[in-house]
A and B are shown apart, each in its own frame.
Chain A
């Protein structure tokens, strides 16, 4: 957790994607124009969120298996950071939509369902706040997390593909369709996924370490 190499890697990747994202060539598509570069920022937010929520559900399962309090702390802190990234993704998506789809909120399937998915995780936070006793709180929220995660996956990735959506990649094949065919974009997008996931993971480890120390001081 204290190793520095992956933190530097994440920083370098994120800086690279910002520079290359603006300077390298992109497909010239009508309506999108240069905003297609937003792909390098908007989508990695969701990828980082997915990474963090996956980590969270992993530790929730682990908590139920072994009952270690540190696993519960990992579960909650990864959700905390995941929610931040999801809100960033939602807001950047809305701004992008304003200039390409015409309004901030088009009641597009994916927009609606990701908002619902975020609310699911807000409910996780509320649930935790409602229970005072540590072990009960950890157990019940772990069980909730195990339900929330697949629901989130279905809402964000499955249902939008099954219906007509403004989002590329939905209402048809997975991936980013016409964008994905351009390997120039892949060269920036994939490092962006990794870089932002690392940054998100880093922030989560910092929060977890702070929590652990606070916990020790309180007990």
Chain B
């Protein structure tokens, strides 16, 4: 019975493999920076699209 109940302990202990290696050698920050670069790039693209649209809208409403 004791053996059965001890199995559940593994769910929260450090026995679950996490990416601690990537964290300890700092490489996790490489992953973060890459993702941030991608996101920033896409967001800047969105902002520039928005600006371009605003210009066209102004022109289109000025004509009217």
Q: Which residue numbers of A lie inside 8 Å of B, CB to CB?
A: 2, 7, 11, 14-15, 18-19, 22-23, 27-30, 33-34, 199, 202-203, 206, 209-210, 213, 216-217
Q: Given contacts A11-B43, A15-B36, is CB(A29)–CB(B11) below 8 Å?
A: yes
Enumerate B21-64 residues with CB–CB distance to A below 8 Å.
28, 31-32, 35-36, 39-40, 43, 46-47, 49-50, 53-54, 56-57, 60
- Please tell me if the beta carbons of B11 and A30 are within 8 angstroms of each other in the complex: yes
Asked if B19 is an interface residue, CB under 8 A from chain A, the answer is yes
- The minimal Cβ–Cβ distance linking B60 to chain A, given in whole angstroms, is 5
Residues in B with CB closer than 8 Å to A7 are 46-47, 50
Minimum Cβ distance to chain B for residue A41 (Å): 10
In the bound assembly, the distance between CA atoms of A199 and B47 in angstroms comes to 11
| Prevailing SS type, chain B contact patch | helix
A129 to B31, CA, bound (A): 43
Smallest distance from the beta carbon of A119 to chain B beta carbons, Å?
Answer: 28
Contacts of A217 in B (CB 8 A): 60
Write the nearest CB–CB distance from B49 to chain A, whole angstroms: 6
- Chain B residues with CB under 8 Å of A216's CB are 60
**Contact of A34 with B18 in the complex, beta carbons under 8 Å:** yes
Cβ contact within 8 Å between A34 and B46: no
Interchain CB contact under 8 A, B39 and A18: yes
Is B5 on the interface with A (CB-CB < 8 A)?
Answer: no
B6 at the interface (CB under 8 A from A): no
Give the CA-CA distance A213 to B55 in the complex, in Å. Answer: 12
B40/A15 in contact, CB under 8 A: yes
* Alpha-carbon separation in the docked complex, A144 to B53 (Å): 31
Q: Which 5 A-B pairs have the closest CB atoms?
A: A28-B16, A11-B43, A34-B19, A18-B35, A22-B32
14 A-B pairs with C-beta separation under 8 A: A2-B50, A7-B47, A7-B50, A15-B36, A15-B39, A22-B32, A28-B11, A30-B10, A30-B11, A33-B17, A33-B19, A202-B50, A206-B46, A213-B60
